[in-house]
Amino acid sequence: MTKQPKLGPRPVAERAAAATSRVNLSDVAYDRLEELIVTCALRPGLFLSIQDLQDHTGVGRTPIHQAVSRLASDTLIIIRPRHGLQIAPVELPRERTLLRLRRDMERFVVRLATERASAAQRAQLAQIAATLRRRADRMPIGEFNQFDRQIDHLLIAATGEAFLEHTLRPLHTIFRRIGWIYHRWVRPTEGFARTRECHLAILDAVVAKRMTEAVTASDRLITFSDSMFDVLGRGIEPSLLDCNLEMRAAG
């Protein structure tokens, strides 16, 4: 019987490619779960299992575990021993407090972005601004959120400080979910012209290197976000913020 040759360690390039693939799948899982949380397809307060999240995303178990670990650190998923996983309910008082933190961090970001953005980054921001103006009221909120994410990513990249991505991304997700609830469920006929105009003012100021205007525009966006909490606090069914309240009422 012919002996099979012993298999040695995989070449470095092959091992690196496999590791990159795993990292990419983890990012895919994170992005998909984040989107499901923002759009409340995974309702606030909902209990799920790892298998449920696999079914929702079409991604394997290991990347889902990795994504859940990140989302738990971001306070977007709560790990409940013996009960599984829970999509974090919307806690209006807590999230309104976090908005103060976001205000200070966004000021820091737009200052650095205005100062440091490259010509290519300014061109990308100007192109997004042109698209937002061209599409105006014809853009649905789901598409606007994609542009919003792109703007956040570009502004943070322009600062040259990678730490900010890990710090601000969870805050952006939290407030994107608030915006989704506000625009889709509480004020569906209002449109989002105000938030679009605030974003355009930030983009225009950063592109033109007008730092004071960029900070002022950023503050206006946060002030508008803060005004949503007054409306949500008095004009929303509590079960939309935590689906377990609906189950308790039914029981």
Residue 67 lies in a domain: yes
Q: Give the end of a domain, one of 35, 55, 88.
A: 88
Instruction: Determine the pLDDT at residue 1.
Output: 47
47 - beta bridge partners?
Answer: 86
- What are the pLDDT tens digits along the chain (251 aa)? 444 444 444 454 444 444 445 559 999 999 999 999 999 999 999 999 999 999 999 999 999 999 999 999 999 999 999 889 999 999 999 999 999 999 999 999 999 999 999 999 999 999 999 999 998 778 888 999 999 999 999 999 999 999 999 999 999 999 999 999 999 999 988 888 899 999 999 999 999 999 999 999 999 999 999 999 999 988 789 999 999 987 555 55
How many domains is the chain built from?
Answer: 2
Check whether residue 49 and residue 123 sit in a common domain: no
80 - beta bridge partners?
Answer: 84
Check whether residue 226 and residue 157 sit in a common domain: yes
- Domain coverage including residue 216: 92-237
Check whether residue 72 and residue 142 sit in a common domain: no
CATH code of residue 25:
1.10.10.10
Residue with tokens 């606030």: 44
Check whether residue 97 and residue 83 sit in a common domain: no
Helix %, strand %, coil % for the chain, to 5? 75, 5, 20
Instruction: Determine the pLDDT at residue 14.
Output: 46
Instruction: Determine the pLDDT at residue 139.
Output: 87
Check whether residue 119 and residue 233 sit in a common domain: yes
Q: Would you call 14 helix, strand, or coil by DSSP?
A: helix
Please state, in angstroms and rounded to a whole number, the distance separating the CA atoms of residues 18 and 9. 13
Residue 224 lies in a domain: yes
Residue 251 lies in a domain: no
Check whether residue 21 and residue 142 sit in a common domain: no
Instruction: State which amino acid sits at residue 18.
Output: A
For the whole model, what pTM was predicted?
0.88
Please state, in angstroms and rounded to a whole number, the distance separating the CA atoms of residues 72 and 45. 14
Check whether residue 72 and residue 156 sit in a common domain: no
Check whether residue 101 and residue 217 sit in a common domain: yes
Q: Give the end of a domain, one of 60, 88, 116.
A: 88
Strands (E) across 15-120 are located at 47-48, 77-80, 84-87
Residue 1 lies in a domain: no
Check whether residue 81 and residue 100 sit in a common domain: no
Residue 250 lies in a domain: no
Residue with tokens 């989107």: 35
85 - beta bridge partners?
Answer: 48, 79
pLDDT tens readout for residues 15-38: 444 444 555 999 999 999 999 999
Q: By the 8 A CB rule, do 206 and 122 touch?
A: yes
Check whether residue 121 and residue 171 sit in a common domain: yes
Q: Give the end of a domain, one of 68, 88, 108.
A: 88
Q: How far apart are the first and last CA of the chain?
A: 69
Instruction: State which amino acid sits at residue 4.
Output: Q
